[in-house]
């Protein structure tokens, strides 16, 4: 298929572009490089340096593609609280501009990067796609709920195929966010620098870590699906943060102290996914366990430090 990846110069988008190429799809990456890096766009992908806000050019960039994988967004939860308008503009309005561009250019399918955050504080675990969406405690989460709704509207109004992927906690090589607000890269960078590891809630929070290559394969797995559908993408396993820290220290082979950051208001205590719906629809399964994924990620961070 001819697939355009928005945000394909970012952490997850660059992995999606690579897997698409490995599976012999034709790939265009559209990214404004506000947060991404040209150097991690895989060779073999066509690259357009452009912004989703460019309503005039969008249809031309999109024409001729069979599907869009829409990953371009701002992702920092804390900044979204400080700058809600910026997040509404880039994550919601620019997604609607993209959908309009797709309608004009007759691109029939969107795969959208949503998040476990749409469930809010879960009422039961593991979280299933049929669970209700929760109240959103920050504009980033609200932007994911709103964009899911617009994708559903374009399906209802224009028959666009819309596949919503709700990621749990991705990690892996090329996670280069600035600032980095995610736990795993911060744990690894601290461990490699022999600095104390920053930890909230004494590490008792439970998360569902999904290795970036497994997550990337979920996007190619759903390309053949039609209609409107929603899928969790996780590993079906809940891991305490403190256990992730222990595994990292075991892999690096020495101890560093933990820096107790106390409790962080607004944090959900535990989330992990039921991802069997995706497995049943496509045959996709997470293949890389946490230890192997951390070994690969630590190897990448080590190489980067040299």
Q: Rounded to the nearest whole angstrom, what is the least distance from the CB of residue 135 to ligand NAD in the complex?
A: 18
- Closest to ligand NAD by CB, 113 vs 247, is 113
Q: Rounded to the nearest whole angstrom, what is the least distance from the CB of residue 254 to ligand NAD in the complex?
A: 27
- Closest to ligand NAD by CB, 52 vs 110, is 52
- Closest to ligand NAD by CB, 13 vs 122, is 13
Q: What tokens does 113 get?
A: 């990067």
Q: Rounded to the nearest whole angstrom, what is the least distance from the CB of residue 166 to ligand NAD in the complex?
A: 8
- Closest to ligand NAD by CB, 109 vs 256, is 109
Q: Which residues bind ligand NAD (CB under 6 A)?
A: 6-7, 9-13, 31-36, 51-53, 71-73, 75, 90, 94, 113, 115, 167, 170, 177, 182
Catalytic residue among 119, 140, 154, 272: 140
Q: Rounded to the nearest whole angstrom, what is the least distance from the CB of residue 37 to ligand NAD in the complex?
A: 7
167 among known catalytic residues? no
Give me the active site residues, please: 140
């Amino acid at each position: 298929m001819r697939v355009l990846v928005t945000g394909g110069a970012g952490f997850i988008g660059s992995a999606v572009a690579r897997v698409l190429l490995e599976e012999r799809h034709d790939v265009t990456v559209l990214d404004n490089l506000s947060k991404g890096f040209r150097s991690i766009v895989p060779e073999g992908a066509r690259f357009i340096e452009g912004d989703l806000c460019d309503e005039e050019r969008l249809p031309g960039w999109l024409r001729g593609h069979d599907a869009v994988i829409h990953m371009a967004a701002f992702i920092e939860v804390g900044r979204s609280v400080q700058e809600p308008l910026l997040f509404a503009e880039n994550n919601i309005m620019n997604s609607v501009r993209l959908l309009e561009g797709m309608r004009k250019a007759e691109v029939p399918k969107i795969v959208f990067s949503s998040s476990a955050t749409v469930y809010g504080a879960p009422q039961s675990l593991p979280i299933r796609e049929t669970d209700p969406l929760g109240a959103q405690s920050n504009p980033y989460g609200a932007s994911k709920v709103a964009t899911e709704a617009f994708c559903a509207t374009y399906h209802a109004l224009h028959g666009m195929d819309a596949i919503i992927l709700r990621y749990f906690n991705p990690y892996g090589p090329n996670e280069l966010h600035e600032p980095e607000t995610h736990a795993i890269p911060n744990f690894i960078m601290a461990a490699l620098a022999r600095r104390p590891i920053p930890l909230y809630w004494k590490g008792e929070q439970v998360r569902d870590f999904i290795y970036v290559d497994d997550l990337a394969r979920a996007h190619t797995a759903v390309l053949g699906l039609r209609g409107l559908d929603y899928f969790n993408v996780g590993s079906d396993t809940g891991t305490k943060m403190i256990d992730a820290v222990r595994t990292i220290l075991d892999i690096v082979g020495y101890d560093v102290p933990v820096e107790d950051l106390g409790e962080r208001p607004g944090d959900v205590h535990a989330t992990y996914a039921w991802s069997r719906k995706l497995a049943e629809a496509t045959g996709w399964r997470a293949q890389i366990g946490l230890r192997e994924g951390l070994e690969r990620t630590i190897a990448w961070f080590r190489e980067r430090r040299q």
